[in-house]
Amino acid sequence: MGITGLSKLIADICPQAIKESEMKSYFGRTVAIDASMSIYQFMIAIRNRDQMMSNDEGNTTSHLVGLFYRTIKLMADGIKPVYVFDGKAPVMKSGELAKRSEKRAEAEAKLKEAKEAENVEEIGKFSKRLVRVTRQHNEECKKLLQLLGIPIICAPSEAEAQCAQLAKEGLVYGVATEDMDGLTFGSPRLIRHLSSGNTDKCKEFILERVLEGLNITYDQFVDLCILMGCDYCDSIKGIGGKKGLDLIKEHGSIEGILKNRFKITEFIDPEIEYKEKLRDLEAKKEENSENDGENANSNEKVKEEKDEEDIKKEIKSEEGENDGENGENGKNEENGEKKQDELEVEVKQEEADSFVGDEDVSDEEKEKELNGSGDESKSNTKVSKPKKNKEKGSRESVPEDWLFKGARKLFLQPNVLANQFTEKDLKFKEIDEEGLIEFLCRENGFSEERVKSGIRRVKESKGKSSQTRIDSFFKVLPGKSPVKKEDPGKNSGKRSAPAGKNTSNKRGRKPK
């Protein structure tokens, strides 16, 4: 998921590319959201004890709870979301998917252990890692969004790429995601932390300013992202963000780096293929095992293993001997990712709290989360040991048969629907109140009162959305923004409410 360390690199080198603002200021804007990723996050974050929330029939409803309340919150703030669903995954992503699957299998084993040992904390932690979004979940979410009258788009391939395309065409203001590769796909604006709790400010990454700040072209930026580590292929060991940036500037492209630094002159140019995502397979299987109730766990495990085998077979032909090579980099990357996931989960957790209130998520749960991430860092140190050794040797090694060209193609010419949508397609429709109550309350056990109050909020927001924005009338003048001073000044200035103390003892003075 995303680009390893990209947000940190941007924050370090060109902080001016990040604009912090309140969620309110996105009022009246249409934003594209990667639905598949959101659903996944909801299923992790929104839980009752260590179980996902479910309806009377035992089907998961976490994703619906999350999506419903999140969407209402966005709309109440006058933000218009457009949800984009994943299509087929590029075959090149199998490597990444396999890694995730491995991770999952590992978690599965640990979960079993934990269950035997009756370690509640561990059970919670590992069962979260087993979360899987199935086609059924997707379909339910689509249904919910349609009932809410919110536009949805099914991407031919990666949702993130389609989001970026919508932003490029100016149909949406930006892409709201935590996944930094939205920028790599060319989205002019990427908004992080939109709707992640009230206190957090949204961070808006502006591609143009990123390129300006890093002083590279967009094509070079894509190469840099590949160097830093993306979902589609491995990266050169020992080269991270800063070094990568320096090398890109020096040699112009990955080819240049490989030629001059590693004396590699032959590059593989793989065909880009797409395949149905695994969860289609799975969905079928799940249907079979659905009624098994208590036994579901063991069944799932079998399924899990099968899937893993499936992917392994599929990627064998691609990665071949590369498998061994995977180790180092893969782990590092994975760790970064894990950490990020954990963080997100924590944020989401808070959000979940505020959404569903006391009834559903206890403080205990939160604590568990924190413990979980603590453990995470421990295991981090474990893995990072070999990395240190590597650094001592300071050897950089290029993955054999490196498929960077394929990754580049995926970023530069992603499989998206271009110029196919108009503003009409992204229009909001009437909310289907009856349908929502039927779907959420009758079928999925939501409290009718809450759903109704949610619907009321959406209706109120419709009135709000007829308010226009002042900056749609007056154009922002370029270049008049003040020269940045050194960072410390900025921080100290921002944090300390400067005057408060000074005044407090003198404020009582009576005017003469």
Partner 1 sequence: MFEARMVRGFIIKRILEAIKDLVSEASWDCSTSGMSLQAMDTSHVSLVSVSLKADGFDKYRCDRNLTLGMNLASLAQIVKAAGNDDVITIKAPDDADKITLIFEPKSETETWEYEIKLMNLDSEYLGIPETDYSVKINLPSHKFQRICRDLSQIGDSVTISAAKDGVRFSTTGDLGSGNVKLNQTASADKPDEAVTIKIEEPIILSFALKYLNHFARATALSPQVSLSLSKDVPLVVEYVIHDDDDDEIGYIRYYLAPKIEEGEE
List residues binding partner 1 (CB under 8 A): 16, 19, 21-22, 24-25, 27-28, 78, 427-428, 462-463, 465-477, 480-482, 484-485, 489-490, 492-494, 496-500, 502-503, 506-507, 509, 511-512
- The smaller minimum CB distance to partner 1, of residues 392 and 501, is found at 501
- The smaller minimum CB distance to partner 1, of residues 392 and 483, is found at 483
- The smaller minimum CB distance to partner 1, of residues 22 and 391, is found at 22
447-454's contacts with Cβ under 8 Å and 24+ in sequence apart are: 451/68, 454/68, 454/69, 454/72
- The smaller minimum CB distance to partner 1, of residues 56 and 487, is found at 487
- The smaller minimum CB distance to partner 1, of residues 13 and 417, is found at 13
329 vs 335: CA distance, rounded Å: 10
Decide: 173 and 31 in contact? Cβ < 8 Å. Answer: yes
| Distance in Å from the first CA to the final CA of the chain | 64
Pairing of strands 80-85, 152-154: parallel
Burial of 255 (0-12, 13-18, 19+ CB in 10 A): middle
- The smaller minimum CB distance to partner 1, of residues 55 and 465, is found at 465
Residue 373 structure tokens: 């991430």
326 vs 96: CA distance, rounded Å: 10
| DSSP states of 320-334 | TTHHHHHHHHHHHHH
DSSP 508: T
What is the SS3 assignment for 343?
Answer: helix
- The smaller minimum CB distance to partner 1, of residues 265 and 466, is found at 466
Residue 190 is inside which H or E element, if any?
strand 189-192
CB of 428 to partner 1, least distance (A): 6
229 vs 328: CA distance, rounded Å: 12
CB of 427 to partner 1, least distance (A): 7
| DSSP states of 375-429 | HHHHHHHHHHHHHHHHHHHT--BPPTT--HHHHHHHHHS-S---S---GGGG---
197 vs 352: CA distance, rounded Å: 9
CB of 467 to partner 1, least distance (A): 5
- The smaller minimum CB distance to partner 1, of residues 313 and 480, is found at 480
128 vs 43: CA distance, rounded Å: 8
CB of 462 to partner 1, least distance (A): 7
CB of 429 to partner 1, least distance (A): 9
- The smaller minimum CB distance to partner 1, of residues 288 and 492, is found at 492
Sign (positive or negative) of CA dihedral 150, 156, 160, 162: negative
CB of 475 to partner 1, least distance (A): 5
CB of 398 to partner 1, least distance (A): 40
- The smaller minimum CB distance to partner 1, of residues 388 and 477, is found at 477
CB of 510 to partner 1, least distance (A): 8
CB of 424 to partner 1, least distance (A): 12
CB of 5 to partner 1, least distance (A): 24
- The smaller minimum CB distance to partner 1, of residues 226 and 458, is found at 458
Q: Which residues pair with 48 in a beta bridge?
A: 51
Q: Where are the alpha helices (DSSP H) in 149-217?
A: 159-168, 181-184, 207-214
CB of 146 to partner 1, least distance (A): 16
421 vs 165: CA distance, rounded Å: 10
